[in-house]
């Protein structure tokens, strides 16, 4: 079995000084309260991808947690696998995160060039991207659904590893 088989990186993106733009960090705080399998690592990248750049090749699944404007009501969740058009998916990042779009595209391209890496974006529609540290009630209400999705994803991964 390959050394990176079923390794997952959960990457929180966001700016916690801009309310719902800090959705990724908020979700990461909640995830830190649950016991994760040994094949899962979490990264709080904020508004830069530097925290994962040296380790990105260690994973076959990358999960991005972030605020994401996708045209739904505040608090609605987007779960999407990034297949080939990462640029269109990243257009929904809030403006404070748009500056890392090129960094994410570079990481995506580097991982998919040599091997099959699954990229998943989990984004919650923000209500407010303005100065302040509190997350909106809409994002807070959506968080348990995201945690359930991540738990299911990790459980499925663990089952695949047991079967292999």
Name the percent of the chain lying above pLDDT 70: 92
**Other Cβ atoms closer than 10 A to 81:** 9
Residue 2 included in any domain:
no
Distance separating alpha carbons of residues 11 and 78, to the nearest angstrom: 16
Instruction: Give the contacts of 18 (CB within 8 A, at least 6 positions apart).
Output: 94, 96, 129, 130, 131, 132
**Cα-flanking dihedrals φ and ψ of residue 162, to 5°?**
-65, -40
pLDDT higher for 112 or 151? 151
Residue 128 confidence class, pLDDT cut points 50, 70, 90: very high
- Residue 35 exposed, middle or buried by CB count within 10 Å (0-12, 13-18, 19+): exposed
Residue 150 included in any domain:
yes
- Count of structural domains, the chain: 1
Residue 106 included in any domain:
yes
Residue 6 confidence class, pLDDT cut points 50, 70, 90: confident
Residue 95 included in any domain:
yes
DSSP 3-state percent helix, strand, coil across the chain (nearest 5): 45, 20, 35
Residue 143 included in any domain:
yes
Residue 57 included in any domain:
yes
| Cα→Cα distances 77→55, 80, 145, Å | 28, 10, 8
Q: Mapping DSSP to helix (H, G, I), strand (E, B) and coil, where does residue 72 land?
A: coil
Can you give the pTM of this predicted structure? 0.92
Residue 121 included in any domain:
yes
Residue 151 included in any domain:
yes
pLDDT score recorded for residue 133: 87
> The domain containing residue 37 runs over which residues?
8-159
CA 17 to centroid of chain Cα atoms:
18
CATH of the domain at 50: 3.40.50.1450
């Amino acid at each position: 079995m390959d050394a990176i088989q079923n390794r997952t990186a959960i990457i929180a993106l966001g700016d916690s000084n801009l309310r719902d733009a800090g959705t990724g960090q908020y979700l990461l705080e909640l995830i830190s309260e649950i016991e994760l399998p040994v094949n899962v690592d979490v990264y709080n990248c904020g508004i830069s991808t530097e925290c994962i750049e040296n380790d990105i090749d260690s994973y076959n699944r990358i999960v991005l947690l972030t605020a994401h404007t996708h045209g739904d009501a505040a608090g609605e969740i987007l779960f999407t696998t990034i297949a080939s058009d990462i640029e269109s998916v990243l257009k929904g990042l809030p403006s404070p995160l748009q500056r890392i779009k090129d960094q994410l595209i570079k990481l995506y391209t580097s991982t998919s060039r040599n091997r099959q890496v699954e990229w998943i974006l989990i984004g919650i529609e923000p209500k407010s991207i303005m100065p302040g540290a509190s997350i909106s009630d809409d994002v807070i209400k959506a968080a348990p659904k995201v945690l359930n999705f991540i738990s299911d994803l990790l459980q499925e991964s663990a089952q695949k590893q047991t079967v292999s």
